[in-house]
Amino acid sequence: MRASKAITRRGFLSASMRTAATIAAGPLLLTSCATTGRGRVSPNERIGVGVIGVGRRGQQLMGLPEGAEIVAISDVNRDRLAKAAAGKGWRTYRDYRDLLESRDVDAVIVATPDHWHALNVVHACEAGKDVYVEKPLSLTVREGRAMVKAARRHKRVVQTGSQQRSMGACRLACELVRNGRVGKVHTVHAGNYPSPWECNLPAQPVPDGLDWDTWCGQTEPRPYHEELYAPRVRGHEAGWISYRPYSGGEMTGWGAHGLDIIQWALGMDETGPVEIRALAGTEPQNDRVHRGPTCEVMMRYANGIVLHLDGNGPDGGGVFVGDDGEIMITRGKFGTNPPEIAQEPLSDSDVRLYQSEHHLGNWIECIRTRERPVADVEIGHRTATVCHLGNIARWTNRPLRWDPEKERFVGDKEANALLERPMRRPWRL
C-alpha cells in the first residue's frame, strides 16, 4: 500500500382522500462560510463534489444546485465511468479511496449499492469530506451507528437522501399531525414492504471492465449475473435491492421513504418503536418470481401509538388515524378526512418543522453554514433502523422488545446477532 493512502485507508484496514397540497423545488439559499475538507470556503466559492457510484441513481443526482460542481467520479465499472465522464472534464477513479484523497473534493455523493454505504461514508468522513448518501442509510443497525459516530467525530455534514423531507406537502402534512389536527394519533397504517430473499441466480461471464470482486465488497463473492448487478429488474421483481446479502429488500428500499415520513410526523427522529411483532410466519422464497416475506408487521412506540405495516397505507408514507380524523401522507401530496382538517392555516404558535425545498440544495447550504441538514445522518440511521427491525421480526418470527437508547433487543441473543452481518476481509469497518 502506498503511503499516500494512509488517511483514507486507515479506517478501511482497521477493525382515498383528496390531494391537498403539492410543491415544486425552490431556489437555493447560500449563507455564511464553512470549513470543508480543504479549509475555509467563502459564501461565493465553488464547492467541489465527487460522486461515488455513477449508476442509475448516481447519474440522477448529478444535477447540482448553484455553488457546487462535480470535479471527480468513481465507479468499479470502467465503461460506465468513462461514459459518465465523457466531455465533462471530470477526473475518474476506479477506487473511491483515491477520489477521497483529492484536495479539490470538498464533499461526496454516495450512490453505491446499500452494502457499500457504510465504508464509503465512514472513509469520506475520515478524509474530511461532507457527504450526501442515498437512502437507505445502512445495511445493518451497527453500520448505521458507525456512520453517525464518524460524522460526529469528524464534524461532517451528512445528508441522507430521504428527499421527501424536502417536499413541502409532506412537511405540511407532518406539521398537521404534530399539531393535533386529527386529535391524538393512536394508529398508523403503512405499506407491506417485502423483505429480501437469498440469491440463487446462475453464473454469467463478468463484463469486461467491471471489477466484480470489489462490487461484492463486504459480502462473500458469488457469481456475476446481470439481474444481480442491476438495482431493480422488471420493475420491482429482482435486482440487488431484492437480495439479502446486499440490501434489506423493499423494507429498506421503499420503507426508507415511507417509514421516514412516519418517524417525522410522530416526532420520533431520535428514537423508535419498543415492540415489534410479525403477525404471521412467512419464509423467504428462493427464486426470482416470488418476492420476499410480506406478512404484516406490527410495531408499538413507547407512547402507545401502533404502526401496522399491512398494506393499508401508501408506500411513500402512511395513514395517521387519530380520535378526530385521518391524514394520508405520501410522496409530494397528502389528503385528509374530513377535508376541513387541512383548511385552517397553522398559527405562529404551532409546531413547525425544518423547511427545505431542495434536498441537494439543503445539503450544499449546510456545508457552508455547518448546520445539520433536514435528513441528518442520525435521522437516516433511525429510519433505517425501523426498517431493519421489521426484517428481523420476520426472520425471527416472534415478538421482540427493542431498546431504542441502547439499540439492542431485550433478552434476545439471536435477534441481537442480526443487528450486524459478517464483513469479509479487507472490507471491514
Host H or E run for residue 6: helix 6-13
What residues form DSSP beta bridges with 91?
72
Strand, helix or coil for residue 391: helix
Task: Report d(CA 320, CA 190) in Å as an integer.
Answer: 9
Neighbours of 298 (CB within 10 A): 18
Second-level CATH architecture of 168-196+249-352+378-417: 2-Layer Sandwich (3.30)
pLDDT band, residue 135 (cuts 50/70/90): very high
Query: Taking 80 as the threshold, does the pLDDT of residue 172 lie above it?
Result: yes
Tell me which DSSP letter residue 207 carries: P
Of 33-42, 214-223, 317-326, the least confident: 33-42
**Residue range 242-252: average pLDDT?**
95
Query: Taking 80 as the threshold, does the pLDDT of residue 285 lie above it?
Result: no
Query: How does strand 297-300 pair with strand 158-160?
Result: unpaired
Task: Report d(CA 55, CA 110) in Å as an integer.
Answer: 11
1-13 b/e (C-beta count within 10 Å ≥ 16 → b): eeeebeebbebbe
**Residue range 279-307: average pLDDT?**
74
**pLDDT value, residue 29:** 29
Host H or E run for residue 364: helix 359-369
Second-level CATH architecture of 11-165: 3-Layer(aba) Sandwich (3.40)
Task: Report d(CA 191, CA 316) in Å as an integer.
Answer: 8
Q: Where in the chain is the domain with CATH 3.40.50.720?
A: 11-165
**Residue range 3-18: average pLDDT?**
36
Query: Taking 50 as the threshold, does the pLDDT of residue 108 lie above it?
Result: yes
Query: Taking 90 as the threshold, does the pLDDT of residue 283 lie above it?
Result: no
**pLDDT value, residue 207:** 98
Q: What number of CA atoms fall less than 13 Å from residue 170's CA on the CB side?
A: 28
- State how far the alpha carbon of 59 is from the alpha carbons of 70, 242, 293, 335, 367, in Å: 11, 21, 31, 32, 21
Grid-cell match 442491476, residue found:
230
Question: In angstroms, how far apart are the furthest CA atoms of the chain?
Answer: 66
**pLDDT value, residue 238:** 78
For 42-98, write each residue's pLDDT tens digit: 566 899 999 999 999 999 999 999 999 999 999 999 999 999 999 999 999 999 999
- pLDDT, mean over the chain: 89
pLDDT band, residue 291 (cuts 50/70/90): low
Query: Taking 70 as the threshold, does the pLDDT of residue 235 lie above it?
Result: no
Q: Where in the chain is the domain with CATH 3.30.360.10?
A: 168-196+249-352+378-417
Q: Report, in this order, helix, strand and coil percent for the chain, each rounded to 5.
A: 30, 20, 50
Write down the pTM of the prediction.
0.89
Nearest to 36 by CA among 100, 105, 101: 105
**pLDDT value, residue 6:** 38
For 329-385, write each residue's pLDDT tens digit: 999 999 999 999 999 999 999 999 999 989 999 999 999 999 999 999 999 999 999
**pLDDT value, residue 22:** 32
